[in-house]
Structure formats: C-alpha cells, structure tokens
Amino acid sequence: MVHAARTIRRAVVTGGAGFLGSHLCEHLLDRDVEVVCLDNFLTGSPENVVHLMEHPGFRLVRCDVTDFVHVPGPVDLVLHFASPASPLDYLRMPIETLKVGSLGTLHTLGLAHEKGARYVLASTSEVYGDPLVHPQPEEYWGNVNPVGPRGVYDEAKRFSEAMTTAYRTSKGTDTAIVRIFNTYGPRMRPDDGRAIPAFVGQALAGRPLTVAGDGSQTRSICYVDDTVRGILALACSDQPGPVNVGNPDELSMLRLAQWIIELTGSSSGIEYVDLPVDDPKVRRPDTRRAEELLGWRPTVPSEEGLRRTVAWFAEQREAAALRAG
C-alpha cells in the first residue's frame, strides 16, 4: 500500500555538501522545499552545492553535528546523511565515523523531536556485513565483524538504527530508516576509494583498473537519481522502515571494470590486487518492501547511469587540465 505524501516545507540535510546529500538538497529544492544544509566539510565540499547558493530557499551552514545542532525556525524534515561513507574515509577517520553515527544521530534526533519533524536516518547495506542470506531482506540481522577494519562504519550505522528506533518507541518521534545500497553518479570524489570512481579515473587516465581478488565479488549499483527518489518517497510516507533502497541489478566487480573500459573507450587492462579484509562477497537488495509500501523501484538502467557518470568524470578531468594550463 502506498501512503499519501505529507507536506514538507523546510528540511534539514546533514552531510548536505557530500555526494548523496548534495543531490538530496537539489531534489528537495526542485520540489519547492526550503533546505538548510549542514556540513563540516570533512568529506563533503562546498563545490558540490555551489550551484545552489543563489537559490533563495537554500542555506549552507558549517556545522559538526557531533558537537551540537541548532536550527532556528520550523523544520518539517530532518535527513541525517552526515558520515564518511567510503572505506578509505572511515579507515582514515574511524573515531569521527563512530561519533557521527552515535553523537550525530543523538543530536539530530533531538532536533527532529524538538521540532516535531519527520526524521530519516541514512543507514546502509553495510549493516548486513558479509551476508549469509542473498539477496538481503530487511528482516536479515546481518553478519558483521565488530572488531574488523570495516566495523567502525558498520557498527556506527547499526547503533544509529538502534538509537533511531529507541526515539520512535520511547519518545514517539516520527522516524524512518533507509538502508542505502551502492549508489553512484556525478559528484563522487575521484579519490574516495570506491570502485566506480576508481575504475573511471583509471580508465580515463589509461592506467590498469585494479580489481580486488578475482573480481567475482558482486555489488548492486543504483544511479543517484533513483536512490534520492527512494529516500524522498520514504520521507514523504508514514513508514518507519527499515527499507532497502538500491538496484537489484547485481554484477561482478570484474564485469563492472570491463564495462567501464568499454564505455570510456580506454585501452586499459585489468590488474588484480589483494581483497580487502572482511570485504562482502555478494550484495543485492531485496526491494519488495520499497515497491509495495512506497511504490518505488529504480528506473535508470545501469548502462545509462554509468554513461552519465563517465561523462561527468571526463568533464571534470578536462576542466582540471584547462585550469592547470
């Protein structure tokens, strides 16, 4: 059953200058929602939202949500998307990652409760760890190593889900949890360590694409516009979640690398490197809950999404070359 949309006039987006957060801000403004974008620029960048700065409904505030969160005036929706999200980032900033998942979630939940706002937590497919159930339904509890190198991110998100649920059950706060699967698209950082920006950057530079292990491990990739539509469908519903948002289009890392070589027209080859510790072998969302409760499913074919992403990275590379003279 798809529930009627609620009225949202003003939203707070934490991590709004990040890759996914900036797209959320953009889509909200397109829906005539005022946006207060909070970011400490640890992994986000003002460049991601510079095109929104002249919009009368947009406000960018430098803020670390692990310290405090204060937003004057009414708020209808709080989207907590602040967190390092790539392995390179959370391995480099393990304590910051744990703090934004714990203290940041606590402070943003407090803001939503104070304002009587709807709250959406950006959780992740990583709560399923290296899954023993495939594809992963929301009922699956996961297979996570809390003391492994990925544990800081996985457990931060699992804790934030528990905190969000506690606010809902004990304080009556209107909360929802979205579990986001691998998302890609324009504004990803080329050096963030995730497969798609790494492969595209290597292909455009004519370097070998570094595939971990034998490349048989799988991911399900979802274009950013589809992910944002799913998040906002949940935000505008009365569903608490958790709800998986991702594309069931599962492919191996080797196939992804080969596809990107084809799309870039690169002469790059493949170079195999060691598999990271606790790297999930498979990853594919069971999206039936999103389809049944929110009427959402991804619509951008992976080839089209990758084509758009490759084009964006190529434009950025050309612009950087021009600036360098």
Question: Residue 68's domain spans which residues?
Answer: 10-187+222-247+283-299
Rounded Cα distance, 283 and 286, in Å: 10
Domain-embedded: residue 126: yes
Of residues 153, 167, 184, 223, which has the active-site annotation?
A: 153
Preceding omega of 135 cis (within 30 degrees of 0)? yes
* 153 is known as an active-site residue: yes
Domain-embedded: residue 202: no
Domain-embedded: residue 269: no
Q: What is the CATH number of the domain that holds 242?
A: 3.40.50.720
Let me know if 257 is exposed, middle or buried by CB neighbors in 10 A (0-12, 13-18, 19+).
buried
Domain-embedded: residue 182: yes
Domain-embedded: residue 178: yes
Domain total in the chain: 1
Question: So what's the pLDDT on residue 1?
Answer: 37
Rounded Cα distance, 95 and 91, in Å: 9
Question: So what's the pLDDT on residue 5?
Answer: 58
Domain-embedded: residue 270: no
Report DSSP state, residue 51.
G
Domain-embedded: residue 316: no
pLDDT digits (tens, 9 = 90+) for 140-179: 999 999 998 889 999 999 999 999 999 999 999 999 999 9
Could you give the percent of the chain with pLDDT greater than 90? 84
Mean per-residue pLDDT for 60-88? Answer: 95
pLDDT digits (tens, 9 = 90+) for 188-241: 998 888 899 999 999 999 999 999 889 999 889 999 999 999 999 999 999 999
Question: So what's the pLDDT on residue 7?
Answer: 86
